[in-house]
Amino acid sequence: MIDFLHPAFILIVGALLLPFIPRPLKKAYLVLVPLLAFIDVFLFLQKGTFGIVTFMDWHLTFGRVDNLSQVFGYIMTLMCIIGTIYGLHVENDLEHIAAWLYVAGSLGVIYCGDYLVLFLFWELMAFSSVFLVWFRGRKESLATGYRYLLVHTAGGLALLAGIILRYQANGGDLSFGPIGVDIPSVSTYLIMIGFILNAAVPPFHAWLPDAYGEASVSGAVFMCAFTTKTAVYALCRGFAGMDVLIPLGVFMALYGVVYAVLENDARRLLAYHIISQVGYMVTGVGIGTQMAINGTCAHAFAHILYKGLLFMGCGSVLHMTGKNKFTELGGLYKKMPLAFVFTLIGGLSISAFPLFSGFVSKAMIVAAGFKEHMLWPAFLLTLASAGTFLHTGLKVPYFIWFGKNNCSEETWEKAKDPPWNMNVAMAAASILCIFIGCYTPYLYTMLPYPELAAQYNPYSAYHLSETLQILLFTALGFFLFVKKLAPEPTISIDMDWPYRMGGRVFYWVARKPIQFVDNCVSEFYRYVGLIPLMTQAKFWSWFDWHAIDGVVDGIARSVRGLGAIARRMQSGQLQYNIFYAVTIVAVVIVAYVLA
């Protein structure tokens, strides 16, 4: 009997078999494979380590099942089902294959028990997800994908360097678990850099809005759910209680909100809010208490659903109209009412509105901060939630579906609710967002410390009154200053500007000396290095030509000599002529041998 069947294995095999499935059965197959992966995770009733493989002197652990890995495995396979249904209309098999391999990489990290397996699946995530950007098919997609790949390759190298140093320092131990955060070493910081780059912690964050805003419609739904949350899992597993993560997380929460103010592109705005929401999770990991870790996992669970829902809603607008900028949209509530309702539910969920999923998850992290007397982080995270409601809960629905109609005639004609599969996926995510917000035991019983979670009540009178005051005053401010908040077609310079421009400057500066050296080498080779070769070639050419000429001349002389012998035999001069003929033949043979 098989004790452990890795869900990543199901997705990888399913992806490899996809091109061979007959077209009439393909849609059913697309739903079946992620459903099997979800059922596989759901049936992991036994905790422990499984799938241990011996490779050289290492014992690689592919399966470690506990409460922490299970909550992430559950939501990620569930989101894989929803995301695949959303993309059923996509005819390109390669896009589905890339998405499934991407999810498989994430699940491989979640269930791994050692750093070598972690690194293997970590890189699978990076190199498969980049195709979800390239499949957008635009000129900008190619450049964006390369930037995404280069940044994640750099992060992977930092992670690998940390793993190697840790392997040497720990006497060959590769097990992945809590890292000593009290006395951090160089390897600790390198591994943390590899993780926080995938978590989009500033200044290593600019790849996220760049790539997620440019990805394909269905590809962005997958990307918003897996990379950053896999990094959050890795931080929970290895860096719980690392103090430096608290200011980094708070800065993320505020930074993402500020840049969302400036955005005109709907999906880039949502991407910046990913940075903000992941900031809550990074702060929770930094606090490191059981309640904070519970809050981090709960918020990651809720975030995958509502952020996927938001990307599906805005993606449906892009899919139907070809437009994604607020200055090119507006007034679509009559044309796309279902997409509006689903996106609004996602906006209320991310804004921590009561009865929605964000309300029961985000508050747990803030409460953990107050419980540990970390007042400033807790207050600043509360402030960030107001900004989230301002821009994702209000700005996105208002300027796409209401507000001034900036649609061109062509865009207006194209606008209508998306295909049935998109609506089904958005409806499923919407139902789950409301269900989690109303029935908290569904989520709380899956958390790493379920007994502690059961004692937490998000619907206290104080929390309800505090949240409603923040949300209502934010809504009042939005409608009072809605003209000031109207989007403009601007470009926001982010922290990627220095290294992108610096790279161009470096290339321009380095190109001149490189060209100079290249020219010097070329001239040296031309005037110095080729002289011996050319001399040798000319010599052999001359020798071969003269040798052949000598052979031909010798043969001619021999023929003439033999003719002379025949003539002189008649005149009695035979002895002299034989000597002459033998001498000529000998010379010819020697010349031929020497040549």
- pLDDT of 275 higher than 90: yes
> 58 pairs with which residues across the strands?
55
Q: What count of other Cβ atoms lies within 10 Å of the Cβ of residue 45?
A: 6
Give the Cα separation of 584 and 519 in Å (integer).
Answer: 55
Residue type, 386: A
> Beta 58-65 vs 48-55: how paired, if at all?
antiparallel
| CB contact burial 527-546 (16+ within 10 A = b; e otherwise) | eeeeeeeeeeeeeeeeeeee
In degrees, rounded to 5, the angle at the alpha carbon of residue 351 between the alpha carbons of residues 397 and 310 is 50
pLDDT tens by residue, 564-580: 544 554 444 444 444 44
Scan for tokens 């809550």, then name that residue. Answer: 280
Interval 54-77 mean pLDDT: 90
At 207, list the tokens. Answer: 């790849």
Q: What count of other Cβ atoms lies within 10 Å of the Cβ of residue 102?
A: 29
- CB 71 within 8 Å of CB 301: yes
pLDDT band at 481 (very low <50, low <70, confident <90, very high): confident
Residue type, 419: P
HEC profile of 264-286: CEHHHHHHHHHHHHHHHHHHHHH
> 494 pairs with which residues across the strands?
none
Residue 355 neighbours by CB under 8 Å, 6+ apart: 434, 437, 438
Q: What count of other Cβ atoms lies within 10 Å of the Cβ of residue 464?
A: 13
Mean per-residue pLDDT of the chain? 86
pLDDT tens by residue, 309-357: 999 999 999 999 999 999 999 889 889 999 999 999 999 999 999 999 9
The whole-number pLDDT of residue 448 equals 94
pLDDT tens by residue, 281-316: 999 999 999 999 999 999 999 999 999 999 999 999
Q: What count of other Cβ atoms lies within 10 Å of the Cβ of residue 557?
A: 15
Residue 334 neighbours by CB under 8 Å, 6+ apart: none
Q: Containing H/E element for 52? A: strand 48-55
Surface-to-core class of residue 168, CB atoms within 10 Å of its CB (0-12 exposed, 13-18 middle, 19+ buried) = exposed
Give the Cα separation of 362 and 108 in Å (integer).
Answer: 27
Residue 444 neighbours by CB under 8 Å, 6+ apart: 294, 298, 450, 453, 454, 456
pLDDT band at 543 (very low <50, low <70, confident <90, very high): very low
The whole-number pLDDT of residue 575 equals 44
Write the DSSP assignment of 443-491 as a string of letters: HHTTSSSHHHHHT--TT-HHHHHHHHHHHHHHHHHHHHSTTTT---S--
At 490, list the tokens. Answer: 């601007």
Closest CA to 265 of 196, 204, 328: 328
- pLDDT of 540 higher than 50: no
Question: What φ, ψ does residue 48 adopt, rounded to 5°?
Answer: 140, -165
| 3-state SS, residue 55 | strand
The whole-number pLDDT of residue 2 equals 57
Write the DSSP assignment of 544-580 as a string of letters: HHHHHHHHHHHHHHHHHHHHHHHHHHTTT-HHHHHHH
Share of the chain above pLDDT 70, in %: 84
CA 535 to chain CA mean position, Å: 56
Interval 451-461 mean pLDDT: 91
- CB 306 within 8 Å of CB 433: yes
| 3-state SS, residue 406 | coil
Query: Which position has the higher pLDDT, 193 or 523?
Result: 193
The whole-model pTM stands at 0.84
Give the Cα separation of 182 and 491 in Å (integer).
Answer: 42
Give the Cα separation of 268 and 209 in Å (integer).
Answer: 5
pLDDT tens by residue, 508-537: 776 666 666 666 656 555 555 555 555 555
The whole-number pLDDT of residue 513 equals 67
Whether residue 203 is preceded by a cis peptide bond, meaning omega within 30 degrees of 0, is: yes
Give the Cα separation of 462 and 440 in Å (integer).
Answer: 18
Question: What φ, ψ does residue 60 adopt, rounded to 5°?
Answer: -90, 130
Residue type, 521: V
- CB 135 within 8 Å of CB 92: yes
Residue type, 138: R
Closest CA to 34 of 85, 93, 106, 72: 85
Give the Cα separation of 354 and 66 in Å (integer).
Answer: 30
pLDDT band at 220 (very low <50, low <70, confident <90, very high): very high
- CB 388 within 8 Å of CB 380: no
Give the Cα separation of 313 and 432 in Å (integer).
Answer: 15
Give the Cα separation of 443 and 429 in Å (integer).
Answer: 15
Residue 130 neighbours by CB under 8 Å, 6+ apart: 145, 148, 149, 152
Residue 9 neighbours by CB under 8 Å, 6+ apart: 104
